[in-house]
Amino acid sequence: MLDRRLFLANASLGLAGFATGCADPAVPVAISPKAPPTPLPDFYGEIEYRTFRYFRDTVNPVNGLVPDRWPTPSFASIAAVGSALTVWPIAVARGWIKRDLARDLTLATLRFFDTAPQGDAASGTSGHRGFFYHFLDMKTGLRYKQTELSSVDTSLLHLGMLFAAGWWTGDTPEEQEIRRLGIDIVERAEWLWFQNGRPIVSMGWHPESGFIERGWDGYNEGMMTVLLSLGSGRHPVNDGAWEAWCAPYPRCWRGEGETRHLAFAPLFGHQYSHMWIDFRGIRDTVMRGAGFDYFENSRRATYANRAYCIANPMHWDGYSADLWGLTACDGPGNFKLPFKGSTREFHSYSARGPLGQPDERDDGTIAPTAALGSLPFAPEIVIATARAFMAVPGLYREYGFVDSFNPSFRYTDQKLQTGSMNAQTGWVARDYLGIDQGPIIIQAANYRDEFVWKVMRNSPVIRRGLERAGFNGGWLAAS
């Protein structure tokens, strides 16, 4: 499960020329932050509602924990819990759940993390020094096996908590408690400890072996982690963390002219931070020099991902202008098999993205969350793709889209590790993944009416982090 975070260090740059050459020339002008979005069609609302039901039907109401995946029996993902804390208010606003129930689920979640045992023991705890383990037992809430104390997954959890603290503004004792706990739990994180004497924040820590050597630098989903570490009111990292984060940027640029962007192959790296932070119109030093913001960067990355699938250099089946989207997701399993005259590798859960970009991998597996998580960036291509996904046999089910599909994997003589296979249409995943369900519904809410962004713009933690990182302009300039 850590594969999606082993980026940049071993990334191949050999196909950089291809990545530049395949960029879609018809990238439209960016949408103005003040321009009203085009209303979503009715079918998209059905996708959102089904996706919400994943969280509603799988949450443990006692502690608010959400499974990493379903229907395969699973541990809880703290990242998925961060999404759930954000989804409950969205569901209230859409009329999918009663406010009292959403409040109670939120409060149960925060009360659990408030009292969850912390310490440096290898078992019997949920976290250490204000951070939490990547995976927790769904019932006990304790560390699952030897999973890492995760800085980025704790960030996703914390962003959900900050949103809850900002959205639940009522005067009732329950909503006051949500605000108090949401902020207090976030502020307990000892970010300076996680910096471990270096400019960058480590990816994780194990009680058995200490800090993971790799840290958050370069362009990827770790942007939110660095910003939260800078914005902490109690235990912030030292100055220079953002400059250390940006230091590897020169090797991340791809494209030319209007397609030039900071590249990271899996699209989740262009989406996760944007689910809670509105990057439209605000720029750090690098983006002031580039002449565009990180929102625009994600829009260009979305088009580049689609353009790569249209070019389809690996000649996979099914890739097209309406069936595209490479990110971290489930796959049919680990195989080396013949395909169209050569031997190809297929993978189980793995980060995927265009060849020639950092963290490249392409085994023919497409994930709906890759495209739908980019809805605010490029609605003109995402909406059509969402409709096309609904027509893929076996992909659209009870809780929206299962995690992924691979039209090229039609090997009836192979034993699958997960999912199902059809000799004509290929492999389809069995499970829904909580971390991939979240972007679908949260990004749709941001596209509709800035639902999450407008709350998070008022977060002192987010504002401090952005300002310490050197961002200015846009909504940051407003009082």
Average pLDDT value for residue range 390-404: 98
Do residues 75 and 140 lie in contact, with contact meaning Cβ atoms separated by under 8 Å?
Answer: no
Q: Which amino acid is at 454?
A: K
8 by Cβ neighbours in 10 Å (0-12 / 13-18 / 19+) ranks as: middle
45 by Cβ neighbours in 10 Å (0-12 / 13-18 / 19+) ranks as: middle
Rounded to whole angstroms, the Cα distance separating 90 from 71 reads: 24
* Closest by CA position to 194, among listed 158, 152, 166: 152
* Closest by CA position to 224, among listed 190, 248, 201: 201
Inside any domain, residue 40 = no
- pLDDT for position 39: 86
224 by Cβ neighbours in 10 Å (0-12 / 13-18 / 19+) ranks as: buried
Q: Give the chain's domain count.
A: 1
For residue 25, is pLDDT > 60?
Answer: no
Inside any domain, residue 292 = yes
Q: Which residues of 341-354 are buried (b: 16+ CB within 10 A; e: fewer)?
A: eeebebbbbbbbbb
Inside any domain, residue 39 = no
Label residue 133 by pLDDT band (50, 70, 90). very high
Do residues 343 and 386 lie in contact, with contact meaning Cβ atoms separated by under 8 Å?
Answer: no
**Token pair listed for 195:** 């910096």
| pLDDT > 90 in the chain, percent | 91
Inside any domain, residue 41 = no
Inside any domain, residue 38 = no
Those residues with Cβ within 8 angstroms of residue 35's Cβ, 6 or more apart along the chain or in another chain = none
- pLDDT for position 478: 82
Element (H, E) at 253: strand 253-254
For residue 30, is pLDDT > 80?
Answer: no
The 10s digit of each residue's pLDDT in 252-272 is 999 999 999 999 999 999 999
- pLDDT for position 289: 98
For residue 37, is pLDDT > 90?
Answer: no
Rounded to whole angstroms, the Cα distance separating 245 from 59 reads: 35
Pairing mode, strands 405-406 and 426-428: antiparallel
For residue 1, is pLDDT > 50?
Answer: no
Do residues 226 and 238 lie in contact, with contact meaning Cβ atoms separated by under 8 Å?
Answer: no
Report the mean per-residue pLDDT for the chain: 93
Q: What is the CATH number of the domain that holds 252?
A: 1.50.10.140
Inside any domain, residue 45 = no
The 10s digit of each residue's pLDDT in 262-299 is 999 999 999 999 999 999 999 999 999 999 999 999 99
Element (H, E) at 437: helix 434-449
- pLDDT for position 137: 98
- pLDDT for position 33: 53
Rounded to whole angstroms, the Cα distance separating 55 from 69 reads: 11
- pLDDT for position 36: 59
- pLDDT for position 155: 98
- Considering the entire predicted model, what is its pTM? 0.93
Label residue 464 by pLDDT band (50, 70, 90). very high
The 10s digit of each residue's pLDDT in 195-211 is 999 999 999 999 999 99
Rounded to whole angstroms, the Cα distance separating 78 from 71 reads: 18
**Token pair listed for 250:** 């020169």
Inside any domain, residue 309 = yes
Rounded to whole angstroms, the Cα distance separating 103 from 107 reads: 6
Those residues with Cβ within 8 angstroms of residue 140's Cβ, 6 or more apart along the chain or in another chain = none
For residue 16, is pLDDT > 70?
Answer: no
- pLDDT for position 18: 33
Query: Which domain range does residue 293 map to?
Result: 3-32+50-477
Label residue 35 by pLDDT band (50, 70, 90). low
Residue 238: phi and psi, rounded to 5, are -70, 160
Q: How far is CA 90 from the centre of its chain?
A: 18
Rounded to whole angstroms, the Cα distance separating 460 from 243 reads: 21
The 10s digit of each residue's pLDDT in 178-198 is 999 999 999 999 999 999 999
C-alpha distances out from residue 129 to 108, 143, 185, 207, Å: 21, 14, 11, 12
Three-class SS state of 28: coil
Do residues 427 and 421 lie in contact, with contact meaning Cβ atoms separated by under 8 Å?
Answer: yes
Residue 76: phi and psi, rounded to 5, are -90, 145
* 326 vs 5, higher pLDDT: 326
- pLDDT for position 116: 98
Inside any domain, residue 43 = no
Which range has the worst mean pLDDT, 10-14, 21-25, 347-351, 411-415? 10-14
For the CA atoms of 294, 215, 157, 71, the dihedral, rounded to the nearest 10 degrees, stands at: 100
Do residues 113 and 199 lie in contact, with contact meaning Cβ atoms separated by under 8 Å?
Answer: no
For residue 13, is pLDDT > 90?
Answer: no
Average pLDDT value for residue range 239-257: 97
For residue 135, is pLDDT > 60?
Answer: yes
- pLDDT for position 221: 97
Element (H, E) at 426: strand 426-428
Do residues 468 and 231 lie in contact, with contact meaning Cβ atoms separated by under 8 Å?
Answer: yes
Cα Rg of the chain (Å, integer): 21
Average pLDDT value for residue range 94-116: 98
Do residues 244 and 223 lie in contact, with contact meaning Cβ atoms separated by under 8 Å?
Answer: no
- pLDDT for position 9: 31
